[in-house]
């Protein structure tokens, strides 16, 4: 499998009133063809910022630098804004958590869709409408012709998310980035949307990056998982490796802290002490050192290097590196 997207040493910082904040501190990540990569992490761990950096969707206060950002072999960092426009939407598309804010309440659903289609394809208005209806049908919206004339407030949360997905798919992107696509939805609707995304991925053979904090969603959707914490990728591996053989102490703690009712009912959950670190005063060393039960002095002082455990799994931890050596 070849790599669709290859990120090397991505660093993103924001200048704020309280000084510079390093949101991403050297992330290496790749997305292969036809796979679903999951990025898990708590709020502020940098999972959304990573993908927004790649898309070039961050505000001006953000500074993005990387050794390379290869998309289909071309370095996105070397592209001008105008050239990047060609990638956004057509090659990579992104859907967001809250489908209400992603849609303009004053415009019809049909307007949203035809705008996207006409921007990227040279088609007449009537043809664009035909494509839009077809798109809505594909994402499972009943009676799409009538729905085209309706406004976002006439749609339920799940239906709105379907509209947003259909907008993202209009130009048949090779990479779909879904940033917490189901967090705002109920479980039954979440299951419908996840099934839809899986089906679309299969039908179109596209790659997907799924950003979420829900380990349950991750387990059921992803081929590979990357765990982020404090702006650093702490562990990466296939879904089975992460769930059945986690290596990094933070991944282990994270998996232990979610309830698995068959096992944990009635007993105590193993909570992780403390809170996620503030990005304003990150420790110099391993970001999870302050909450890690095994942390040594070295962990606080020095950022650990990547240790590989298999062809697909690696983690950043001093203790694991020492054990392997």
Partner 1 sequence: MQKREVLLEVKNLKKYFPVKNFFGRKVGDLKAVDDVSFVIYKGETFGLVGESGCGKSTLGRTILQMLKPDAGQVIYHGKDIANLPKSQWKDLREKLQIIFQDPYSALNPNWTVRELISEPLKNAGLSREQCDTRVRELLKLVNMNEDDMEKFSYEFSGGQRQRIGIARAVASYPEFIFCDEPISALDVSVQAQVVNMLKDLQQELGLTYLFTAHDLSMVHHISDRIGVMYLGSMVELGKSEDVFRDPLHPYTRALISAIPVADPKLGRESSRIPIEGELPSPMNAPRGCRFCTRCPHATERCREERPELREVADERWAACHLL
Query: Where along the sequence are the contacts to partner 1 (CB under 8 A)?
Result: 42-43, 156, 158-159, 186-192, 194-195, 213-220, 239-240, 243-244, 253-255, 257-261, 264-265, 268-273, 275-276, 291
Contacting residues for 198 by C-beta, under 8 A, at least 6 apart: 36, 221
CA atoms of 107 and 114, how far apart (whole Å): 11
Give the DSSP per-residue string, 261-282.
HHHHTTS---PPPS-PPPGGG-
Of 26, 34, 31, 21, nearest to 10 by C-alpha is 26
**For residues 187 and 325, which CB has a smaller minimum distance to partner 1 in the complex?**
187
Query: Which residue shows structure tokens 């947003």?
Result: 164
Q: How far is the CB of 275 from partner 1 (least distance, A)?
A: 4
**For residues 205 and 216, which CB has a smaller minimum distance to partner 1 in the complex?**
216
CA atoms of 179 and 57, how far apart (whole Å): 13
Q: How far is the CB of 233 from partner 1 (least distance, A)?
A: 17
**For residues 65 and 156, which CB has a smaller minimum distance to partner 1 in the complex?**
156
What angle separates helix 157-169 from helix 187-204, to the nearest 10 degrees?
A: 20
CA atoms of 83 and 66, how far apart (whole Å): 18
Q: How far is the CB of 244 from partner 1 (least distance, A)?
A: 8
Total residue count of the chain as it appears in this document: 325
Q: How far is the CB of 179 from partner 1 (least distance, A)?
A: 17
316: part of which helix (H) or strand (E)?
A: strand 314-316
**For residues 215 and 315, which CB has a smaller minimum distance to partner 1 in the complex?**
215
**For residues 258 and 301, which CB has a smaller minimum distance to partner 1 in the complex?**
258
- To the nearest 10°, report the CA torsion of 106, 111, 116, 119: -110
Q: How far is the CB of 247 from partner 1 (least distance, A)?
A: 17
CA distances, 265 to each of 56, 258, 317 (Å)? 44, 11, 31
Q: How far is the CB of 194 from partner 1 (least distance, A)?
A: 7
Q: How far is the CB of 141 from partner 1 (least distance, A)?
A: 12
CA distances, 20 to each of 61, 185, 208, 270, 307 (Å)? 10, 35, 31, 35, 29
**For residues 205 and 259, which CB has a smaller minimum distance to partner 1 in the complex?**
259
**For residues 257 and 310, which CB has a smaller minimum distance to partner 1 in the complex?**
257
């Amino acid at each position: 499998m070849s790599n669709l997207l290859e990120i090397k040493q991505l660093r993103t910082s924001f200048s704020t009133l309280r000084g510079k904040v390093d949101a991403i501190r050297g992330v290496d990540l790749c997305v292969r063809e036809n796979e679903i990569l999951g990025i898990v992490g708590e709020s502020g761990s940098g999972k959304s910022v990573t993908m927004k950096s790649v898309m070039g969707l961050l505000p001006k206060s953000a500074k993005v630098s990387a050794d390379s950002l290869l998309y289909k072999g071309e370095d996105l960092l070397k592209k001008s804004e105008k050239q990047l426009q060609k990638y956004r939407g057509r090659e990579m598309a992104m859907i967001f958590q809250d489908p209400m804010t992603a849609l303009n309440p004053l415009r019809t659903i049909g307007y949203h869709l035809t705008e996207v289609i006409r921007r990227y394809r040279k088609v007449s208005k009537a043809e664009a409408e035909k494509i839009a209806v077809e798109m809505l049908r594909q994402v499972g919206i009943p009676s799409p012709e009538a729905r085209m004339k309706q406004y976002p407030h006439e749609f339920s949360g799940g239906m709105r998310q379907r509209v947003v997905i259909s907008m993202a798919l209009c130009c048949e992107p090779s990479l779909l980035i879904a940033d917490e696509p189901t967090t705002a939805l109920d479980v039954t609707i979440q299951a419908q949307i996840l099934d839809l995304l899986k089906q679309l991925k299969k039908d179109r053979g596209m790659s997907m990056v799924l950003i979420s904090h829900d380990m349950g969603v991750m387990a059921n959707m992803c081929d590979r998982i990357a765990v982020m914490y404090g702006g650093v990728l702490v562990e990466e591996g296939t879904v089975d490796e992460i769930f059945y053989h986690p290596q990094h102490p933070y991944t282990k703690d994270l998996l232990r802290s979610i309830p698995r009712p068959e096992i944990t009912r009635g007993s105590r959950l193993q909570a992780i002490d403390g809170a996620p670190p503030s990005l304003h005063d990150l420790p110099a060393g391993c970001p999870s050192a302050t909450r890690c039960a095994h942390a040594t002095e070295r962990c606080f002082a020095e950022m650990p290097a990547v240790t590989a455990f298999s062809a697909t799994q690696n983690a950043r931890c001093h203790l694991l590196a020492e054990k392997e050596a």
